[in-house]
């Protein structure tokens, strides 16, 4: 596991061990890039925590455009669009309590590198043993009317006022598709079509210490290939 941050400021990226959990059909694996271990806990103050979300297709970096990728079930495809919502971030402590990051709604876009680096500001100083977040947009925000920021409909992730937001959007080309193209939009916040998923990876026994002088970064990989080889594999020839 990565070592404790040696000094102040945001650390340069470093990779640690990785663990994986399904994110809808997309795999997220993570590593503590910096800031693991113990650090002094100052009283009544805050710090920052950073999330780095790296899009991949299997072991390859995701590149938008003509690059061909295998699905794992014999088909090939390219990717022109890959976006998803990450929201309702919580940081968990060893005593069972947690800190809910207020108004934490982020649109992560493979075509916008800056969106793949999420900064969580004003985190209460302390030691955390895990994090959790929702893939998608919760029901309250889905029915709250016009939104701003990451939830602004101009972002291209709002379907209509009945269905609400698209949680995961994947588009591109595939020779196996009848039209040569494909568009996947994962959405729905009401039963029986509730596709909201909470992801809660523990830190594998490690901890993350947050303070004004100690700003850790958590690295996560989002593997698009897992959408095609999950429990219900998707095939372009049948959509």
How confident is the model over 108-148, as pLDDT tens digits? 999 999 999 999 999 999 999 999 999 999 999 988 877 89
For 59-78, what is the mean pLDDT? Answer: 95
CA-based radius of gyration for the chain:
19
Predicted local distance difference test score (pLDDT) of residue 214: 87
Q: Average pLDDT, whole number, for the chain?
A: 83
DSSP symbol at 211: B
Measured CA angle at 109 (ends 120, 210), to 5 deg:
15
- Greatest Cα pair distance, the chain, in angstroms, is 61
> Would you say residue 236 has pLDDT above 70?
yes
Domain boundaries, the chain: 19-227
pLDDT band at 96 (very low <50, low <70, confident <90, very high): very high
* DSSP strand pairing (217-223 vs 46-57): parallel
Lowest mean pLDDT segment, chosen from 29-38, 62-71, 72-81: 29-38
Beta-carbon contacts of 172 under 8 Å, excluding residues fewer than 6 positions away, are: 77, 78, 79, 80, 81, 181, 182
pLDDT band at 84 (very low <50, low <70, confident <90, very high): very high
Predicted local distance difference test score (pLDDT) of residue 2: 32
C-alpha 215/C-alpha 10 separation (Å) is 6
Beta-bridge partner residues of 171: 81, 183
Helix boundaries (H) for the chain: 139-142
C-alpha 23/C-alpha 35 separation (Å) is 25
> Would you say residue 1 has pLDDT above 50?
no
For 67-76, what is the mean pLDDT? Answer: 93
pLDDT band at 27 (very low <50, low <70, confident <90, very high): very low
Predicted local distance difference test score (pLDDT) of residue 30: 52
The answer to whether the beta carbons of residues 215 and 208 sit under 8 Å apart is: no
Predicted local distance difference test score (pLDDT) of residue 59: 93
C-alpha 54/C-alpha 18 separation (Å) is 13
The answer to whether the beta carbons of residues 11 and 221 sit under 8 Å apart is: no
C-alpha 95/C-alpha 98 separation (Å) is 9
pLDDT band at 20 (very low <50, low <70, confident <90, very high): very low
Beta-bridge partner residues of 124: 46
Predicted local distance difference test score (pLDDT) of residue 224: 94
pTM, whole model, 2 decimals?
Answer: 0.82
Residue 186: CB atoms within 10 A of its CB come to: 18
Q: Which of 198, 200, 201 is nearest to 18 (CA)?
A: 201
């Amino acid at each position: 596991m990565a070592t404790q941050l040696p000094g102040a400021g945001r650390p340069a990226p470093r990779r640690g061990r990785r663990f994986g959990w399904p994110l809808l059909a997309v795999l997220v694996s993570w590593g503590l890039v910096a800031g693991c271990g113990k650090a002094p806990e100052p009283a009544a103050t805050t710090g920052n925590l950073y999330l780095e979300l790296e899009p991949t297709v299997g072991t390859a970096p995701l590149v938008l455009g003509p690059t061909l990728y295998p699905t794992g079930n014999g088909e090939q495809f390219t990717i022109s669009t890959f976006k998803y919502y990450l929201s309702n971030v919580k940081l968990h402590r060893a005593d069972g309590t947690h800190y809910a990051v207020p108004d934490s709604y982020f649109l992560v876009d493979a075509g916008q590198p800056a969106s793949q680096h999420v900064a969580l500001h004003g985190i209460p100083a302390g030691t955390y043993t895990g994090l959790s977040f929702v893939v998608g947009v919760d029901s309250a925000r889905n029915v709250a009317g016009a939104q701003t920021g990451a939830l602004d409909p101009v972002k291209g992730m709002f379907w209509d006022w009945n269905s609400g937001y698209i949680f995961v959007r994947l588009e591109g080309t595939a020779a196996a598709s009848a039209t040569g193209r494909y568009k996947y939009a994962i959405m729905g916040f009401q039963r029986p079509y509730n596709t909201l998923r909470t992801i809660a990876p523990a830190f594998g026994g490690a901890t993350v210490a947050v303070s004004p002088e100690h700003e850790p970064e958590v690295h996560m990989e989002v593997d698009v290939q897992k959408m095609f080889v999950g429990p219900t594999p998707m095939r372009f020839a049948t959509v």
